[in-house]
A and B are shown apart, each in its own frame.
Chain A
């Protein structure tokens, strides 16, 4: 990645932004009411419309949305419009279970996604299995964000900032404000970060028109140099498109950190209005990011593989050379990228901390522990796991999109427990456990072998097997019982 010749003003802006996160964390810590896990991990269940919408937005749109989506649009061309449908489908997925789940969480004081699983399917095996899957996904999620942070700091500063120490400093800032105020500080900083990301998306639209010659000349050039990237998908490509919508649409709707935001909503109406806003945002945010990737095909032809993930940085370098306005634009865009990375990583870390505190420490390691002791254990766990992940993030060598897909392969298999559990009252734990195990074997096995039958992702095939197993075992169990037990 080429270095950005940043000036002192840019560093002061970024430092001011990072400082404001710490101030918000301190302020949030003063707003805490009591020492309960619900107050620490769900911000007292009082999230209003704007905070909820912006925290969902900032959590859902990670660093991958800026680097990965642009890179993938560059690599595959217009068929990556599949991601636009997918990001709207995520909200459709929420509507099928989130409002009911929110009502249940108020009645039964859920804190982690696993609290619902335990309430709905009282099975220790299922609860442990789901907790492990969620932790693997969250670790993957944080790792992906740290990896992009390292990539960005190393590349964009051109050696002015050491990648490892840069990631360490950002991780420490993130952990300080998360530890101080829990969900309150994460959601409040997400609000600032979400607003900054929206500003970043607006600036990208301006960059395309002002600095890259606009859409039309770029598309004319694109037609000349890479017509294949303008072509509609073939039969297999169309199946992969549909599979992507299922994979991301259903998978992302059961992000543990998103489920905790559902619990944290002030009311069902607040949740519904926030989701309505979330359904509109992709029409702007995703479209401009994809357009940037498409325009970059014409501007920087010939990039292959993971090199395409750097187009955003290459564009920023071009814009930086256009004078003071370009400098200001790139500085704000850098802030938006940092915001996207940190808001996703802090939410995932807080979720990871809550799952350890409530589902592992408070249940199996020290069942007699008080809420504040569990919260402290969760905070220590988050610090330790973050330390390990910072180190691992400098060792791995996967492209961003591959990391992005892996977590969905697993998340998708947990989805039936929420979707079917909320909507089918007669469903029991055994079909869900068998379905989850079958789905995980197919999805993870298929992913490691690079298997994509008919263009379907292994996770989607796993989900089909998972649901088939749930339905089959459910009906076998139901019909084996006498009529009176069934009605009971």
Chain B
């Protein structure tokens, strides 16, 4: 695998894992779970996953790929 695919591949896998962890597929149906400020637990998990996803993208954007020259 060439270098540029390796960098993007690892980062893409992290992004995909974060997206998958934010989807409550593992949550029991019709169960809101614990709640904070009346917001169901699964919604908090989804929101935290969105913050992690955003941080990951910001990191990817600012750091850049090592195989690309910056100006």
Contact = CB atoms under 8 A, between A and B. Distances in A.
Interface of A: 78, 81-82, 84-85, 88-89, 91-92, 95-96, 99-100, 103, 215-216, 219-220, 223, 230-235, 238, 241-242, 245, 267-269, 272-273, 275-276, 279-280, 282-283, 287, 423
Contact of B25 (A96, A216, A235): A235
A219 to B, nearest CB: 4
Contact of B53 (A85, A231, A233): A85
23 contacts: A78-B43, A81-B50, A84-B50, A85-B22, A85-B46, A88-B50, A89-B53, A95-B11, A103-B69, A230-B32, A230-B40, A232-B29, A232-B32, A233-B25, A235-B25, A238-B23, A242-B19, A273-B62, A275-B61, A276-B58, A279-B58, A279-B61, A423-B5
A19 to B, nearest CB: 36
Contact of A96 (B12, B23, B28, B51): B12
A99 B8 CA distance: 12
A78 B64 CA distance: 34
A219 B37 CA distance: 9
A207 to B, nearest CB: 19
Contacts of A241: 23, 25
Chain A interface helix/strand/loop/mixed:
helix
Given A232-B31, A268-B71, A283-B54, A238 B25 contact: yes
Interface of B: 4-5, 8, 11-12, 15, 19-20, 22-25, 27-32, 37-40, 42-43, 46-47, 49-51, 53-54, 56-58, 60-62, 64-65, 68-71
A89 B19 contact: yes
Rank and list the top 9 A-B pairs by shortest CB-CB distance, nearest first: A238-B25, A279-B57, A276-B61, A232-B24, A219-B38, A232-B27, A267-B71, A275-B61, A232-B42
B29 A91 contact: no
Contacts of B31: 231-232
A231 B24 CA distance: 10
Contacts, number: 118
B19 A245 contact: yes
A230 to B, nearest CB: 6
A99 B38 contact: no
A221 B57 CA distance: 36
Given A89-B15, A280-B54, 10 more contacts: A78-B40, A81-B47, A91-B61, A92-B15, A215-B38, A230-B40, A231-B32, A233-B25, A242-B23, A282-B50
A287 B44 CA distance: 12
B38 to A, nearest CB: 4
Nearest to A231: B30
B70 to A, nearest CB: 5
A287 B11 CA distance: 25
B38 A223 contact: yes
B40 A279 contact: no
A340 B31 CA distance: 37
